[in-house]
Structure 1
Amino acid sequence: MGSMSWIHWVVVLLIVVLVFGTKRLGNIGKDVGEAVKGFKKGMADEDKPEQLNDQSRNSDSNASTRNDERSQR
């Protein structure tokens, strides 16, 4: 009574397809895929503000350096 053989998994898969239908299973797969993409995008967007802040700090310091050089002339 250990693990199930591949024949058992095929039977389970057939029953799931009969109960839900292929169209509904396809929609569920599509929804799960979009949810995963949205999650990955959200995680990537979370990192971007830090990078943008670093870039804006660099551009601000570069601008102040340029202003100092101009005032010295």
Structure 2
Amino acid sequence: MMPGPFELIIILVIVLLLFGGKRLKNIGGDLGGAIKGFKKSMKESEKIDDKDSVIDAKIVKEEDKV
């Protein structure tokens, strides 16, 4: 069961009273930065994986030992 708009407003007021507006703004900025960093690292790891998928190999034949 999802809370309605009235319940969400009450929850928002309680959170504002507990944390304060300035602190809540800082938490939101930090969370946004973390999400942005996570997305950036995921894109970089995909690029690295694409480069690592091609492997150069040499076939070496052993000479018959007598």
Normalising by structure 2, we get a TM-score of: 0.64
Displaced runs of 4 or more, over 6 A: none
Instruction: Select the structure that is richer in helix.
Output: 1
Q: Are 1:13 and 2:12 matched, yes or no?
A: yes
Identity of aligned residues (%): 41
Q: How many residue pairs end up in the alignment?
A: 54
Aligned to 1:45: 44
> What TM-score, normalized by structure 1, do the two folds share?
0.59
SS at the partner of 1:30?
helix
What amino acid sits opposite 1:10 in the alignment?
I
| Unaligned ranges ≥5, structure 2 | 57-66
